[in-house]
Amino acid sequence: MALPAQDDSVIPARRTNSMRGRVASAGDTPASNGNVANIVTVIRILLVPVFVWLLFLDANGNVASNGVWRYIAAALFILAIATDGVDGKLARGRNLVTNVGIILDPIADKLLIGGALVSLSILGELWWWVTIVILVREVGITLFRFAVIRKQVIPASRGGKLKTVLQSVAISLFLVPFHALVGPGINWVNWVDYVFMAVALALTLYTGIDYLVQYARLSRAPSGPASKA
């Protein structure tokens, strides 16, 4: 029996330009890779070198002088890290989720956190081993996710969001020289910074281990629920 002729009028046109599509409006049609949510993410990435440059612009050699540039650098970091949820809400709320955005969003977070930690260690304000442990966990788990994503999509680690929030708060406390604001000799300010960083470090390690444990459990199953770690 002959097959019926195919009606070309009902076949959707193949998308040839990823920059074409919806930029800001909500809808069900394909979204542009240059949509407003991805633009916010790219801006967050571009703020990283500016923030680091301003942080070292304020430094005299390897010691921060806690001048005006230090406060501006801290404000840029806080702005960039605080807008983490903005691009996600825009993408989900307006159906602007793209593969490019899914890749860039965690990269922006890792660059912000990593850039701040490395800078603080170079300035001698944070132990290098803390920076190395956090970066090894973040980069290692990210590479691991990409390596196994075709075999098993692992759910987000319990406490993953809280981990990111605590990292952001701890780094912000280190960046803003509160000890200079309250006066010399106020040691409790530094202790607050170290306590937050210690909790963030502990949760960073816990969520990394929990992620691997979940993978070990789910690898025995045929498939797992999709989620972002």
CA atoms within 13 A on the CB side of 35: 32
**CATH classification for the domain delimited by 33-218, as one of 1.20.120.1760, 3.40.50.970, 3.30.365.10, 3.40.1000.10:** 1.20.120.1760
C-beta of residue 21 within 8 angstroms of C-beta of residue 94? no
CA atoms within 13 A on the CB side of 71: 7
Q: Record the pTM.
A: 0.79
Residue in 192, 222, 193, 228 with CA at minimum distance from that of residue 207? 228
C-beta of residue 171 within 8 angstroms of C-beta of residue 116? yes
> Which helix (H) or strand (E) covers residue 60, if one does?
strand 59-60
Alpha-carbon Rg for the chain in angstroms: 22
C-beta of residue 54 within 8 angstroms of C-beta of residue 67? no
Tokens, residue 70 = 């230090």
203: buried, middle or exposed (CB in 10 Å: 19+, 13-18, 0-12)?
buried
35: buried, middle or exposed (CB in 10 Å: 19+, 13-18, 0-12)?
buried
Q: What is the 8-class DSSP label of residue 134?
A: H
Residue in 142, 157, 140 with CA at minimum distance from that of residue 206? 157
Buried-exposed string 137-151: b where 16+ CB fall within 10 A, e elsewhere: bbeebeebbeeeeee
**pLDDT per residue as tens, the chain (229 positions):** 454 454 444 444 444 556 777 776 777 777 788 788 888 889 999 999 999 999 888 776 555 566 788 899 999 999 998 887 787 777 777 777 777 777 788 888 889 999 999 999 999 889 999 999 999 999 998 888 778 766 766 666 667 888 989 999 999 999 988 766 665 555 677 888 899 999 999 999 999 998 888 888 877 765 544 444 4
